[in-house]
Structure 1
Amino acid sequence: MQEAEEKTTDVFYRFRKRDILKENGLRRNGKGRIRMKRAYFNCILLDGTEQMEPVAHKMVLVDGEKITAIVEDTAPCEGYEKVDLKSGYLMPGLINLHVHLAGNGKPSAKPRDNAALVRRILSNGLTRAVAYRLVCSYAKLELLGGVTTIRTVGGLADFDTRCRDDAAKGKILAPRILAANEGISVPGGHMAGSVAVAAHNNAEALAQLRRAGEQGVDLVKLMITGGVLDATQKGTPGELKMKPETVRAVCDEAHRLGYPVAAHTESPEGVKVALENGVDSIEHGAKMDEETIRLYKERGAFVCTTISPALPYALFDPAISGASEKDQYNGRIVFDGVVESARTALANGIPVGLGNDVGCPYVTQYDFWRELCYFHKYCGVSNQFALYTATLRNARLAGVGDVTGSIEAGKSADFIVTRKNPLDDLTALRQLELVVCRGRAVHKPAPKRNKTVDAQLDPYLA
């Protein structure tokens, strides 16, 4: 079955490579390498820095995968193919710090047995090959939505690292990927058996960490608390599931091996346990007190704010979301906790990153821009700061700030172009004129949109 899977995947790669070359107008030189030199001119530049302001009449020179210079429109550019951006706004590609590539965000009124579904998917080579192709297609949707770097925090088997490597080699069209593969949970814990492995004890948790290391992951993900739908009673979302000593054991070994640790935490108790035992990033977050603020600062940790997944449970009419009274009540606790966590962090100098927990109901792979809008609306930040957070700040928090996140010479050619100015209205990010990732360009990206998702979520943009 493994041989059949490899043949199926190889055929897929050959077709995708042909499609990528066609989409991007790329040519191979005599050594078989893809190389291009393009001059993107007649644009208004937003460089991604915290104090970014529109700068007109700029030209961005790209050689292969790198930005070589930012010059005036009138500068000579012999040897470069010129691309007229027609006064569009050029800015860094977005960076999504909380992605599950196994999901598409399709609304669902009924809970599914995800563990049983994953067992079936991974049961044979053919279904694994089909599932991997689907994961790659979801990664492509991230790119078409303007996201040029993603950080995955729980996925199927080793699919995320495979997708990362295939994208880097140009075999598939996808963003840069920082991959965690499967997370580490506990029996009955968050996502156990689906995008996380259930570890019964410290030894099993450390064994999974070693497997992740062998797969070449970039970070480690822990599922420390439950989530909205894990709670069995009203008022108990984010119940602590993982023992503090297990958190400590995994963090100590992960850090010894050079991996940062991200942790799903949706309660004040869970956040404290995570920070006390070595976690580097709190995913989602919860209301903070003075002790929690102190722990964040002592640990040097950051919070990855994710407003998108809780919003439908907290704010939708239950007739639309399908949420029970318990789920809506708990969804509101988590939603308020995530928002207040971000507000408190910002007020106390704790770094805040952005992710949207893509794959949850109503959270699609192409709509990360909505998270920026929610960050502005519910956390009170400026459009400028939201865009900075989703670009250079996220890049730095993810450890790739020297590679991407801003428009400057020497960095990766990762950028997007909009017709309108997102500093005036962040919904300008909804429709893109151009996406460039590692030098590869997609003109007029148009992912197929889910009309139900748009109809239900658009009222919350105002």
Structure 2
Amino acid sequence: MKKILLTGLALMLSFGLYAQKTYIHAGKLVDVKNKKILSEQTIVVEADKIISVNPGFQSGGSKDSTIDLKDKTVMPGLMDMHVHIEGETSPTQYVDGFRNNEADIAFRSIHFAEKTIMAGFTTVRDLGGSGVNIALRNAINSGKVIGPRIYTAGKSIAPTGGHADPTNGVRRDLMRDPGPDEGVINGPYEARKAVRQQVKFGADLIKVTATGGVLSVARDGSAPQFAQDELDAVVQTAADFGIMVAAHAHGDEGMQRAIKAGVTSIEHGTMMSEETMDMMKEKGTWLVPTITAGMSAAAFAEIPGYYPAVVAEKAKRIGAQIQETFGKAYKKGVKIAFGTDAGVFAHGDNYREFIYMTEVGMPNLEAIQSATITNAIFLGIEDKLGSIEPGKLADIIAVDGDPEQDIKVMKDVVFVMKEGKVVKK
């Protein structure tokens, strides 16, 4: 019998029918579901999937390969639920829009995508750009570009003069009157058209700016910007397409309107009241805290001339509040999805969010959990991603050191695999 099996294996090898496997020897493995670290595990990968996870260090056959991570801590690929992959903060960002063509934005975004995946983030949610983010997603999916798996909102939706109105702050002859095609709406009918238009362009989800923002060239950063019927129309139309709605919101009233409408997530949540936290718990609304963006904006605002004066004033006043609000919301039991707002700060520095989260009470492994299996649940893809288990896609990263003891080790990701292909080693 043994001879028959060996002969069969030899025939499979000779005809190329034997699928080569990769054996990953993990000195430590983060079990993100149970928030614990396992020692000396072997992850077996075939093609793009994990086929087994076994205790001890095991070896394959002569045709198989082995990756030695015995002195590393291994975990699932990280997920960031709030990035802007098309751009990055700069003292010239407010004039770059008059200089850069769509092609310039596209080539620059390739660089940011690579920085993101090299930092261990194999999945991201892009929450608003010019539409280049849709093309970038497609280029990554087809293997033309190296980068994370992208779920994108395309262009954010705002009312006239709202946070995502692309003509804010320009002289009047350049303002025009942008409409639903450009993500600017007034009234529920235009709200429906704007959602349908973004879906037509290829968006995976919808993003609305439910309140003013910090970095837009507009006076107020917290007042509500949509009437209730407009938000209701956005969420209802998105639901017809089976997609979620993310609501940028700093002010409390705008959050409450968005929650009543049924948005999936509140982004930032800076001035959130306890009443709003209770509403979120009742409705199952998620908070994507983006603490790093708030802390970064507040720091940049101290540099003379970095932001326009109206932006700098808002950044100094409300930027750093986000961390305090996150701490309160977490302790109150609001559902947390890891997200950073990368682009407001340098892409690749997404790890800083782990530090800010743990500074106000979230345990280290729970912070990592929020960026892995929790975010997979948030996206509805927990059957495919979010943990290192048989049957899931092989998105795997590794760091030096022990993140349970020192969360700062998340800064230096030394190994990245996405769908079974090694991206960084």
For the superposition of Structure 1 and Structure 2, which TM-score range results when normalised by the shorter chain? 0.7 to 0.9
Alignment partners' CA distance in 1, 2:274 and 2:414: 45
Contact 2:298–2:315 (Cα < 8 Å) also in 1:
yes
Structure 2, unpaired ranges of 5+: 1-14, 168-180
Q: Which has the larger radius of gyration?
A: 2
Alignment pair present for 1:341 and 2:325: yes
Alignment partners' CA distance in 1, 2:250 and 2:237: 24
User: What is the count of residue pairs matched by the alignment?
Assistant: 397
User: Can you list the C-alpha shifts for 1:320-356, whole angstroms capped at 9, x where unaligned?
Assistant: 6745776555324433542233223222221011211
The percent identity for this pair of structures is 28
Change over 3 Å in CA distance of 1:192–1:317 after alignment to 2? closer
- Which of 225, 248, 256 pairs up with 2:211? 225
Alignment partners' CA distance in 2, 1:342 and 1:267: 14
Change over 3 Å in CA distance of 1:40–1:116 after alignment to 2? same
- Which of 398, 420, 424 pairs up with 1:439? 420
Alignment partners' CA distance in 1, 2:401 and 2:352: 16
- Which of 163, 183, 188 pairs up with 2:136? 163
User: Can you list the C-alpha shifts for 1:336-391, whole angstroms capped at 9, x where unaligned?
Assistant: 5422332232222210112111111xx111111011111112x2212112111111
Question: Which one is further off, 184-193 or 261-270?
Answer: 184-193
TM-score computed with the length of structure 2 as normaliser: 0.85
Alignment pair present for 1:395 and 2:389: no
Q: Which amino acid letter does the alignment assign opposite residue 349 of structure 2?
A: D
Alignment partners' CA distance in 2, 1:177 and 1:149: 6
Contact 1:422–1:429 (Cα < 8 Å) also in 2:
yes
Question: What SS is found at the alignment partner of 1:319?
Answer: coil
Question: What SS is found at the alignment partner of 2:318?
Answer: helix
Change over 3 Å in CA distance of 1:36–1:216 after alignment to 2? farther
TM-score computed with the length of structure 1 as normaliser: 0.79
Alignment pair present for 1:186 and 2:159: yes
Question: Counterparts in 2 of 1:9-408, with a 5 A limit?
Answer: 37-53=21-37, 55-78=38-61, 79-105=63-89, 107-108=90-91, 112-113=94-95, 116-117=98-99, 121-122=101-102, 127=103, 130-157=104-131, 159-193=132-166, 197-230=183-216, 236-315=220-299, 318-319=302-303, 322=306, 327=311, 329-360=313-344, 363-377=345-359, 379-408=360-389
Alignment partners' CA distance in 1, 2:304 and 2:361: 27
Structure 1, unpaired ranges of 5+: 1-29, 445-462
Question: Which one is further off, 363-372 or 314-323?
Answer: 314-323
| Offset at residue 42 of structure 1 (A) | 4.6
| Offset at residue 231 of structure 1 (A) | 7.0
Contact 1:271–1:285 (Cα < 8 Å) also in 2:
yes
Question: What SS is found at the alignment partner of 2:298?
Answer: helix
| Alignment partner, residue 177 of structure 2 | none
User: Can you list the C-alpha shifts for 1:269-325, whole angstroms capped at 9, x where unaligned?
Assistant: 111111112211000003333431332123211010101122134356723674577
| Alignment partner, residue 12 of structure 2 | none
Question: Which one is further off, 66-75 or 260-269?
Answer: 66-75
Alignment partners' CA distance in 2, 1:335 and 1:141: 25
- Give the root-mean-square deviation of aligned CA atoms: 2.7
Change over 3 Å in CA distance of 1:420–1:273 after alignment to 2? same
Question: Counterparts in 2 of 1:417-436, with a 5 A limit?
Answer: 417-436=398-417
Alignment partners' CA distance in 2, 1:248 and 1:342: 26
